[in-house]
């Protein structure tokens, strides 16, 4: 089976746009949370979120295309362009582009467009609804637009698996390369969920923090006083490349994608299996796929949502998989800073993992202040840590009991 290198990365996040700003945000323990500004949320149980600041779609798309695309598509195109530039990948050769594909997912898709155009329908009637409504809202148009603007003619597909979307997208894209179907895949996730209906829905599900008076402290994974996640937005995209293809063109390699696990809890639409069986099997599958023993893993980027049950069950699952070694592995939650980017989380968190591997420095879990007896691992509280490691696991678990894990190796 062919090997898969990771040669480029791009991010749009609440703590920075681009790798340099993102890494600085991670290393300084920056929180991207604040009061929601996309709409007036004053009457909502949750009024806070982690929004992207300073983004302009016109920097990555033509003006007419900005008007014809939902924000989640714009974030995806931006992250993909950054990733291709970072990989120094030439996408100008039409024939070679037949061997480059795109697999970028979204958990919610164009919900901003749906809500906006429903208002038009209700107030002005069906003849005033935008002819671009459908291509603006469907989740596969993140991949579609990336393919169109870059002329990439390989596989053009998507996945929609809630909060595991970005991780599944990268794992599935790696499989496409391993099969020999293409030489290169752009993969990851994108999300722009800040609308009244989406926020109201998550509030009704009692999933989000109501620490409205102190937004920067609201996302506190594994902390005893956690009370829900903080919604985030953005995109994370990586360039996956067949190993020899990357070596022949002299590409810089961040890491090798060596293992992929994906399982289902078959338990509940939102809650994790209380025994963590799906997460346990998923991590073990990734390790088996990579031919790796648990004791070889040196870092885990946790799903770490800041919800009561998810953090507790993920901790339980890690201890079951890694035994006593679990207490020796740094485990950090990117979501403590970025908030929960839903379908984009897995892409952004893999980028954080790769940067940590390269820089030999792992980012902290901020706001971990009150220990929870059920969450007793090394969560790298408060500040970054020098740490050299060869193998890392990145976890994502989503509504519907869907689980995905990626195992990456230092080149």
Active-site residue set:
163, 303, 340
Q: Which ranges in 205-307 belong to alpha helices (H)?
A: 243-248, 277-290
Nearest to 49 by CA among 207, 189, 165: 207
User: What are 71's two structure tokens?
Assistant: 């924000």
The distance from CA 378 to its chain's CA centroid, rounded to whole angstroms, is 22
Q: CB neighbours (10 Å) of residue 127?
A: 7
Interstrand relation of 100-105 and 184-191 (parallel, antiparallel or unpaired): parallel
Distance CA 264, CA 198 (A): 25
- Sign of the torsion angle spanned by Cα atoms 291, 297, 303, 308: positive
| Residue with the two structure tokens 């679990």 | 326
Q: Which helix (H) or strand (E) holds 189?
A: strand 184-191
Q: Helix (H, G, I), strand (E, B), or coil: what is residue 216?
A: helix
Half-sphere exposure of 248 (CA within 13 A, CB side): 6
Q: Would you state the structure tokens that stand for residue 93, as one six-digit string? A: 């050769």
């Amino acid at each position: 089976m062919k090997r898969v290198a990771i040669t480029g990365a791009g991010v749009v996040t609440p703590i920075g746009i681009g790798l340099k700003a993102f890494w600085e945000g991670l290393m300084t323990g920056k929180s991207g949370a604040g009061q929601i500004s996309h709409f007036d949320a004053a009457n909502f149980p949750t009024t806070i979120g982690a929004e992207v600041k300073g983004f302009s779609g016109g920097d990555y798309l033509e003006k007419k295309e900005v008007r014809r695309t939902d924000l989640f598509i714009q974030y995806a195109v931006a992250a993909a362009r950054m990733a291709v530039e970072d990989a120094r990948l030439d996408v100008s050769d039409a024939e070679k582009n037949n061997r480059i594909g795109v697999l970028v997912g979204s958990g919610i898709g164009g919900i901003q467009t749906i809500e906006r155009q429903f208002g038009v329908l209700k107030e002005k009637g069906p003849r005033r609804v935008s002819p671009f409504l459908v291509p603006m809202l469907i989740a596969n148009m993140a991949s579609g637009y990336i393919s169109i603007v870059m002329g990439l003619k390989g596989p053009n597909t998507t996945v929609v698996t809630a909060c595991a979307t970005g991780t599944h997208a990268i794992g599935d894209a790696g499989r496409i390369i391993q099969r020999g179907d293409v030489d290169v895949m752009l993969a990851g996730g994108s999300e722009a969920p800040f609308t009244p209906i989406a926020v109201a829905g998550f509030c009704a599900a009692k999933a989000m923090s109501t620490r409205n008076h102190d937004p920067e402290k609201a996302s506190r994974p594994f902390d005893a006083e956690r009370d829900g996640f903080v919604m985030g937005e953005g995109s994370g995209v990586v360039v996956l490349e067949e190993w020899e293809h990357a070596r022949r063109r002299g590409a810089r390699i961040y890491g090798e994608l060596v293992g992929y696990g994906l399982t289902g809890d078959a338990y509940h639409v939102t809650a994790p299996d209380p025994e963590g069986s799906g997460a346990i099997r998923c991590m073990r599958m990734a390790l088996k796929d990579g031919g790796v023993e648990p004791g070889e893993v040196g870092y885990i980027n946790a799903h770490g949502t800041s919800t009561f049950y998810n953090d507790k069950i993920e901790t339980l699952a890690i201890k079951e998989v890694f035994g006593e070694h679990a207490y020796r592995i740094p485990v950090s939650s990117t979501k403590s800073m970025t908030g929960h980017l839903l379908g984009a989380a897995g892409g952004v968190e893999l980028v954080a993992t790769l940067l940590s591997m390269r820089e030999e420095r792992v980012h902290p879990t901020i706001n971990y202040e009150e220990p929870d007896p059920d969450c007793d691992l090394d969560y790298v509280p408060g500040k970054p840590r020098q740490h050299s490691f060869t193998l890392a696991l990145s976890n994502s678990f989503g509504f519907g009991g869907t689980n995905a894990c990626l195992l990456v190796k230092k080149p």
